[in-house]
């Protein structure tokens, strides 16, 4: 009985000690799992131990030709608002909307009666001026003869010379007035300045046509040749040139239409960040109509010796373009300028050299500069 009481007392004496040891072991485990707040952590060293496997490609030299797709609209190469140059009542309009006219064909006519009368009056005034001039020329010739005989004084001779000069000036004035009257009479018939189609007829017979403000009677469009206007992104500013080949596709026209770039705008639209390209489109059979939507494909001239990188290596952000170049196992962001390009490769105009290794694939868009990398399948570089 006494032995049992002694053993029980011993167990009760050892219990606090066991709890204390367990507490110490638990505290030690906690120390190993989480460092104390004062323990420094070397993040740079941790990053230096990370090596990212990436796909790479070499910068190479080769030929490249870009294809540019852009929306375009067909417009008349020339459009003229044709009105009257003289005031009067419209006597006749010789065309209707949709009519095709040749250069010089009459479009409309102003009542010529008053202008014909003005021509006759100017002719009469011119005849009078000519007669006066001829009379004074004869008088002066006779006076010069008499002067040599000392019959006419020098003062009278000078007076006749002055009168003749005035008569000659009046003759020129009458001649100009006659030419103007005849010109105004010609202007009563308004003719087409070039071959085209009548887009609109805005006035009919009986309308009083004014010069200021000018009365517009006919809108004429040149349709033998149309012009496609395409908006090209400013990123391809150095690509399109006058003379480049272009192909247009118009709904309802089975065959693509071959055309040529005729003009490239020198300015960028601040709102759309595009520049305008004009393409001359032949339309001899008048099948195409102004205002039609016509997607255009432009083929800039090929560049034979260009530095090329895969399209997937190029990354654009914040208005800048760059590639990730691998140098000594480190990824470096290098700014580049892009030139010609196609679906697989683009030309770089600076920043890299032939043989440089650039990152491609998804890593080209996500990789951070300064990270250690290795090409897929290559040995891990030394830290």
pLDDT, tens digit, for every residue of 185-219?
999 999 999 999 999 999 999 999 999 899 999 99
Q: How far apart are CA 15 and CA 183, in angstroms?
A: 131
Residue 86 CB partners (closer than 8 Å, separation 6+): 110, 115, 184, 187, 188, 209, 211
Section 319-330 average pLDDT: 89
- Stated as kind and residue range, the H or E segment containing 296 is strand 296-299
Q: How far apart are CA 243 and CA 231, in angstroms?
A: 17
Average of per-residue pLDDT values in the chain: 83
The CATH class of 112-187 is: mainly alpha
Q: How far apart are CA 209 and CA 187, in angstroms?
A: 12
Q: For residue 253, what pLDDT is reported? A: 87
Q: Give 85's DSSP letter.
A: S
14 confidence band (pLDDT: 50, 70, 90): very low
72 confidence band (pLDDT: 50, 70, 90): very high
51-65+304-375 adopts what CATH topology?
2.40.420
Closest by CA to 245, choosing from 296, 302, 299, 297, is 299
- Summarize pLDDT for 120-179 with one digit per residue, the tens: 999 999 999 999 999 999 988 888 888 888 888 888 888 999 999 999 999 999 999 999
Residue 81 CB partners (closer than 8 Å, separation 6+): 216, 219
Which range is least confidently modeled, 16-30, 50-64, 128-142?
16-30
Q: What interhelical angle do 113-148 and 154-187 show, nearest 10?
A: 160
Q: How far apart are CA 92 and CA 203, in angstroms?
A: 10
Closest by CA to 374, choosing from 366, 383, 365, is 383
Closest by CA to 237, choosing from 174, 195, 182, 300, is 300
Q: Let me know: does 278 contact 262? Beta carbons within 8 Å.
A: yes
pLDDT at 111 over 90: yes
Q: How far apart are CA 45 and CA 289, in angstroms?
A: 70
Q: Which CATH architecture has domain 68-76+224-301?
A: Beta Barrel (2.40)
pLDDT at 256 over 50: yes
48 confidence band (pLDDT: 50, 70, 90): low
Section 259-271 average pLDDT: 90
Closest by CA to 358, choosing from 321, 331, 337, is 331
Section 218-228 average pLDDT: 92
Q: Give 235's DSSP letter.
A: G
pLDDT at 7 over 60: no
Residue 25 structure tokens: 């072991």
Q: Let me know: does 74 contact 228? Beta carbons within 8 Å.
A: yes
* Phi, psi angle pair for 178, to nearest 5°: -65, -40
Cα 89 to Cα 81, 86, 95, distances in angstroms: 19, 10, 17
How is the chain split into domains, by residue range?
A: 51-65+304-375, 68-76+224-301, 79-107+195-222, 112-187
Same CATH fold, 68-76+224-301 and 51-65+304-375? no
345 confidence band (pLDDT: 50, 70, 90): confident
Give the CA angle between residues 198, 199, 202 to the nearest 5°.
Answer: 90
pLDDT at 25 over 90: no
Section 13-40 average pLDDT: 43
Section 356-383 average pLDDT: 77
Q: How far apart are CA 284 and CA 81, in angstroms?
A: 23
Q: How far apart are CA 378 and CA 124, in angstroms?
A: 104
By 3-state DSSP, what share of the chain in percent is helix, strand and coil, each rounded to 5? 30, 35, 35
Q: How far apart are CA 155 and CA 161, in angstroms?
A: 10
Q: For residue 354, what pLDDT is reported? A: 92
Q: For residue 92, what pLDDT is reported? A: 96
Q: How far apart are CA 198 and CA 210, in angstroms?
A: 21
Q: How far apart are CA 208 and CA 90, in angstroms?
A: 6
Q: Let me know: does 195 contact 101? Beta carbons within 8 Å.
A: yes
Q: How far apart are CA 47 and CA 39, in angstroms?
A: 18
| pTM of this structure | 0.57
Highest mean pLDDT pick, 12-21, 35-44, 226-235: 226-235
């Amino acid at each position: 009985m006494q032995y049992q009481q002694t053993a029980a007392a011993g167990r009760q004496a050892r219990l606090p000690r066991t709890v204390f040891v367990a507490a110490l072991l638990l505290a030690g485990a906690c120390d190993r799992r989480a460092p104390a707040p004062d323990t420094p952590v070397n993040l740079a060293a941790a990053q230096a131990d990370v090596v990212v496997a990436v796909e790479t490609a070499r910068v190479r030299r080769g030929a490249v030709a870009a294809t540019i797709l852009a929306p375009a609209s067909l417009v008349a190469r020339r459009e003229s608002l044709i009105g009257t140059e003289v005031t009067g009542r419209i006597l006749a309009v010789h065309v209707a909307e949709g009519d095709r006219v040749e250069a010089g064909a009459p479009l409309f006519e102003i009542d010529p009666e008053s202008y014909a009368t003005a021509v006759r009056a100017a002719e009469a005034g011119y005849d009078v001026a000519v007669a006066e001039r001829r009379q004074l020329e004869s008088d002066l010739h006779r006076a010069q003869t008499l002067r040599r005989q000392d019959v006419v004084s020098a003062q009278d001779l000078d007076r006749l010379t002055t009168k003749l000069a005035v008569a000659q000036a009046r003759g020129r004035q009458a001649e100009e007035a006659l030419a103007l009257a005849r010109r105004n009479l010609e202007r009563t018939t308004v003719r087409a300045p070039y071959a085209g189609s009548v887009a609109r007829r805005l006035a009919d017979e009986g309308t009083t046509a004014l010069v200021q403000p000018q009365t517009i009677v006919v809108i004429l469009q040149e349709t033998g040749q149309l012009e496609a206007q395409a908006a090209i992104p400013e990123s391809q500013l150095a690509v399109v040139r006058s003379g480049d080949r272009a192909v247009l596709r118009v709904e309802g026209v089975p065959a693509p239409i071959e055309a040529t770039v005729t003009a490239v705008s020198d300015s960028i639209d601040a709102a759309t960040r595009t520049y305008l390209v004009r393409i001359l489109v032949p339309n001899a059979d008048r099948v195409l109509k102004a205002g039609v939507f016509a997607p255009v494909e432009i083929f800039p001239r090929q560049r034979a010796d260009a530095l090329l990188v895969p399209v997937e290596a190029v990354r654009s952000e914040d208005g800048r373009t760059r590639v990730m170049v691998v140098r000594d196992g480190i990824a470096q962001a290098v700014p580049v300028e892009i030139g010609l390009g196609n679906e697989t490769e683009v030309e770089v105009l600076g920043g890299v050299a032939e043989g440089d290794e650039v990152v491609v694939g998804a890593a080209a868009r996500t990789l951070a500069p300064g990270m250690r990398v290795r090409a897929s399948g290559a040995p891990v570089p030394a830290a």
